[in-house]
Amino acid sequence: MSEPSGRGHTVTERGGTPIGRRVRLPRGAREPIRVFINGVEQKRGVDYELEPGGIRFAEPIHKEGEIRGWRRWTLLLGLVGVYRKHEVVDVEYTAGDERKFASDLEVIPDPPEPD
């Protein structure tokens, strides 16, 4: 079962692990800012909002995580290739008088939910 994600691709049940909804902008970054996930431009106000020093996404960013157990062995032996969702956040921004590009920004983990 899958559903549209608004990110130009489809979210499947076998997705990666949701890590968090925020990334820090590079030091000195200012508008105009363009945000991309896996090369697909995101829409401000729909997919993300700018916060002081960072970006907050409407949906969590997913990473594949560590490959363990049977998946590791099947990949090493070349028997099966199983890929999970791994999202990369890139930004194009202004710093001083220059346009710059930063790739694979670190995702800030969401705090644990209270019990």
Give per-residue pLDDT as tens, 39-96: 999 999 999 999 999 999 999 999 875 555 655 555 566 655 556 678 999 999 999 9
pLDDT at 112: 77
Overall number of domains in the chain: 1
Average pLDDT over residues 1-22: 59
pTM above 0.75, yes or no: no
Residue 4 belongs to a domain? no
Residue 5 belongs to a domain? no
pLDDT at 101: 97
Residue 1 belongs to a domain? no
- Grade residue 10 by pLDDT with cuts at 50, 70 and 90: very low
Residue 6 belongs to a domain? no
Residue 52 belongs to a domain? yes
Residue 84 belongs to a domain? yes
Give per-residue pLDDT as tens, 26-41: 999 999 999 999 999 9
Domain interval for residue 81? 13-107
Residue 8 belongs to a domain? no
SS (HEC) of 31-73: EEEEEEECCEECCECCCEEEECCEEEEEEEEEECCCCCHHHHH
Higher-pLDDT residue of 13, 36: 36
Give the domain CATH number at 67: 2.60.40
Which SS3 state, helix, strand or coil, does residue 74 take? helix
Residue 37 belongs to a domain? yes
